[in-house]
Amino acid sequence: MRTYQITAKQLILLALATAIFASGAVLMYDRFGADLLGRLVGAKNDKAAVETATGIEGLTDPSVATDEKNNQEVYAAASPGVVHITSTVLVEDWFNAYQKEGSGSGSILDKEGRILTNYHVIQDAEKLEVKLSNNKTYEAKVLGADPDNDLAVIQISAPANELSVVPFGASKNLFVGQKVLAIGNPFGLDRTLTTGIISGLSRPIRSEMTQRLIEGAIQTDAAINPGNSGGPLLNSRGQLIGINTMIYSPSGGSVGIGFAVPVETAIRVINDIKQYGRVRKARPGVNFIPLANLGERFVRAVDIPVNEGLMVVEVQSGSAAERAGIKGATQAVRYGRYQIPIGGDIIVAMDGQKIASRDDYDRVLNNKNVGESVRVEVIRDGRRLTLPLTLDEGPRFSRSRM
């Protein structure tokens, strides 16, 4: 075995290098160590708390914070970005017209004063007012809306230093049992915090305005009441994961069954409004009747070869469907008190997915953008055809007067 001998000179140099390294380590720890260690274990020192108290960066790691501490920090970080929206609507009856006020909540999106809320909060409003956390009130205008998903973006002209932005999270990896927090203005009580868990995912809810399916709704038992609409549903890191939209309640108050539109849906709506000033809908341009609505007796009576599908009654002129060669009704038959157009194509699948109802149709199109293609399978004269179709923008939504 070889052995190594260290000379006295080498020992002195080694001791000197060790001393220099130790001194440097002490200095580094004095300057950065406490904060670094705090970050590693999820704590924060007083200096960090002061500097980041208004931002999500200042939150203690939820995995090491007590529940009470997390609630306190999320509220402190997010509540300044939650606004109180008051809408004034003109109501007419047989005798006169009068103004009626409603209220809701919203989340500040950016320093330009854009605010995300529910469409039903601002629907038909003659006047909109937004109150910030500093109790200052500003008049708002509607930038765009998506009634199908019950979302709208409004804007105020306020100094940037008065606007606290609610940061976006993600709703794709949520799980049942996950903690959530809701901030809003129930019954006009400003910036109220409630907490709960995610009770269910991908719940089938419908827009009250259009009856269209809202995809991927989040169910929560966090208390949501009238006035919470449009406010943020937050995760334990203070990030917006949903927009509180509706409740199931025989009594009208919270019974622990609330629903939020997922943030990914909101992001698509916001981006469209920012870029185009409206929400673009990818639509083929057909009007149809689901065969299920007519019943098997009618299907047999007019000799339709399938029991499920969407019977095309009209193809809009100049639409993507017309260019793809989809055919509308060629005649009409009387069925009870109604004239039913028949003879058109029957849509039975889109991109390989079975189509038996409007919900099936919407599910496919909700994941498509204007300009994308879809393969439409139809039954025509007893034969199955596949028609490639490039989607156009559907009819524009006419926003309320402002």
Residue 73 shares a structural domain with residue 87: no
Candidate list 105, 120, 146, 207, residue with the active-site label: 120
Residue 93 shares a structural domain with residue 136: yes
CB 284 within 8 A of CB 348: no
Query: Residue 272: inside a domain, yes or no?
Result: no
Query: Residue 273: inside a domain, yes or no?
Result: no
Q: What is the pLDDT of residue 244?
A: 93
Q: Is 23 a catalytic residue?
A: no
Query: Residue 124: inside a domain, yes or no?
Result: yes
CA 214 to chain centre: 10
Of 202, 231, 266, the residue at which a domain comes to its end is 266
Q: What is the pLDDT of residue 34?
A: 37
Query: Residue 229: inside a domain, yes or no?
Result: yes
From residue 96, give the alpha-carbon distance in Å to each of 88, 102, 171, 257, 393.
16, 19, 46, 38, 40
Q: What is the pLDDT of residue 239?
A: 93
* Containing structural domain, residue 210: 179-266
Q: Which two tokens stand for residue 83?
A: 């606004």
From residue 33, give the alpha-carbon distance in Å to each of 17, 53, 178.
22, 21, 33
Q: Which residue, 177, 176, 194, is CA-closest to 185? A: 194
Of 266, 294, 329, the residue at which a domain comes to its end is 266
Residue 153 shares a structural domain with residue 85: yes
Residue 67 shares a structural domain with residue 134: no
Q: Which two tokens stand for residue 237?
A: 């890191």
Residue 72 shares a structural domain with residue 96: no
Query: Residue 168: inside a domain, yes or no?
Result: no
CB 195 within 8 A of CB 266: no
Residue 94 shares a structural domain with residue 158: yes
Residue 112 shares a structural domain with residue 153: yes
Q: What is the pLDDT of residue 28?
A: 43
Signed CA dihedral, 78, 134, 131, 184: sign only:
positive
pLDDT in tens, the chain (402 residues): 343 444 545 444 545 555 544 445 434 434 334 343 333 333 333 333 323 333 467 788 888 889 899 999 999 999 999 999 999 887 777 677 667 778 899 999 999 999 999 999 999 888 999 999 999 999 999 999 999 999 999 999 999 999 999 999 998 889 999 999 999 988 888 889 999 999 999 888 888 888 888 888 999 999 888 888 999 999 999 999 999 998 776 666 667 788 999 999 999 999 999 998 888 888 899 999 999 988 888 888 888 888 899 999 999 988 999 999 999 988 888 877 888 888 899 999 999 999 999 989 988 888 788 889 999 999 998 899 999 999 988 665 444 322
Greatest pairwise CA separation for the chain in angstroms: 112
Q: Distance between CA 189 and CA 227 in Å, rounded?
A: 8
* Residue 259: CATH number of its domain: 2.40.10.10
Residue 379 shares a structural domain with residue 294: yes
Q: Is 150 a catalytic residue?
A: yes
Overall domain count for the chain:
4
Q: Distance between CA 278 and CA 391 in Å, rounded?
A: 17
Candidate list 229, 236, 254, 319, residue with the active-site label: 229
* Residue 378: CATH number of its domain: 2.30.42.10
Residue 126 shares a structural domain with residue 197: no
Query: Residue 385: inside a domain, yes or no?
Result: yes
Candidate list 150, 221, 345, 360, residue with the active-site label: 150
Of 38, 61, 77, the residue at which a domain comes to its end is 77
Residue 67 shares a structural domain with residue 126: no
Query: Residue 276: inside a domain, yes or no?
Result: no
Residue 69 shares a structural domain with residue 110: no
Query: Residue 103: inside a domain, yes or no?
Result: yes
Q: Is 229 a catalytic residue?
A: yes
Residue 255 shares a structural domain with residue 288: no
